[in-house]
Amino acid sequence: MKQGKLLIADDNKSVLQALTMFLQFEFEVIQTVTNPNNLLHEISACNCDVVLLDMNFTAGQNTGNEGLFWLKEIKKKFPGVEVIMFTAYGDVALAVNALKEGAADFVLKPWDNDKLIATLKSAYRLSKSNLEIKELKTKEFYIKKELNRNEQLVVGKSEAMQNIMNMVRKIAKTDANVLITGENGTGKELIAKEIHRLSTRGNELFVMVDLSALTETLFESELFGHKKGAFTNAYEDRAGKFVLANQGSLFLDEIGNLPMHLQSKLLTVLQTRVITPVGSNKEIPVDIRLISATNKNIHQMVAENQFRQDLLYRINTIQIHLPALRERKEDIEDIATHFLQLYGKKYNKPNLKINIKAMDKLRANPWLGNIRELQHTIEKAVILSDSDELRSEDFLFGFELESISSQPETLEEMEKKMIISALARHGQNLTLVANKLGITRPTLYTKIKKYGI
């Protein structure tokens, strides 16, 4: 099967004619050049994959310098094009030097047809491989850029958040290990992503591992990877999170949930910066920026022998504590407005506003679920809104839900109370609420509209 585009550069027209006759069955396109001054133009015009380049063009010249010169020019302007040098017996040493300058191989004159075809085909495959690698690297760049794109920026003008962001900007340019503490929903992951974004590793991957969701049996496989056949269901090799995060940042969320015997394995890797996949004896060096987070009192856990002190020292070069949302209520309006714009765009309601009384109500709520609870509350209000203004009654909180009669008198009242109670229990997650109530999400949405919940 004919594949590839070949350019042959030689000052001997008889050679060009002979080569063209038998190579026409091997390549889709064959171009010839006798004058090397036209070489670069012809390569560009035919978009060549391979060039078969003579080493001497001027009569009486046998130094091979002309071939070396044009080889360098080709590799400079067309680095993806593979060049095979065409040389006489006396030029073998020179051809070897050409390999150092980027030539893929060389062919001796007079040539052996089978060897020539094999060499040219090999160069063509190499050219295609180089192109694929280039395309993969381009895709990798844009994939990393997309994965690292922040959908939600860190929002907050309070003094506490300004101090935190000042610290983030200072430590981001270093490779210092960072421990982020705070209640659930305070934005620990966002701070970790901001540290990565502002760091020198910002163009590499930010890889997150939720240690609270990781079973002990899969801990090593998930973090360090495994080889095919290492255990049941290990049908193929798998790279662990440390390898994926190489040159980038690794975010270990809920590190306080890690059992003691697994803490020692993590500590060893953090000390040596070397991992060994499950089922392999090969050590793989890794270069990662470590960011950890927990909602637990990690220092108290150390005092109670529930967390290794040496591991704490390793992960805690810098500690950032995120205050609860109720401790920085001056940020509530900015955060609510941010989520309003986000979900207004998502649900095609770009003109939504929160009126003054509704905003006062948001500020007064204790937000035990922190930013995450506020986010769900705004999303629900956007989904259910019938006008461009969100009012106080569009937001129902726990104390208001309890005020609803505990003794419903009709089936509709009972159904309404069940829906309100389920929404309160499951953080406004409509899909989960629908599953718990045994109805579809569209049915739940219809009933919410019906009862004005």
* 238-264 confidence digits (pLDDT tens): 888 999 899 999 999 999 999 999 999
Residue 66: name the closest of 96, 105, 36 by CA.
Answer: 36
What's the distance, Cα to Cα, between the start and end of the chain in Å?
Answer: 68
**pLDDT, position 101:** 82
Under 8 Å between Cβ of 306 and 260? yes
Question: Which tens digit of pLDDT belongs to each residue from 388-407?
Answer: 999 988 887 754 544 444 55
pTM over 0.75: no
pLDDT exceeds 90 at position 425 = no
Q: Is residue 152 predicted with pLDDT exceeding 60?
A: no
Q: How many CB atoms lie within 10 A of CB 307?
A: 21
- Tell me what pLDDT residue 141 has: 65
Q: Is the pLDDT of residue 184 over 80?
A: yes
- Give the domains, in start order, of the chain with CATH numbers: 5-138 (3.40.50.2300), 159-323 (3.40.50.300), 328-451 (1.10.8.60)
Percent of the chain with pLDDT over 90: 50
Q: Are 320 and 154 in contact (CB under 8 A)?
A: no
| Vertex 201 angle, CA 321 and 129, to 5° | 145
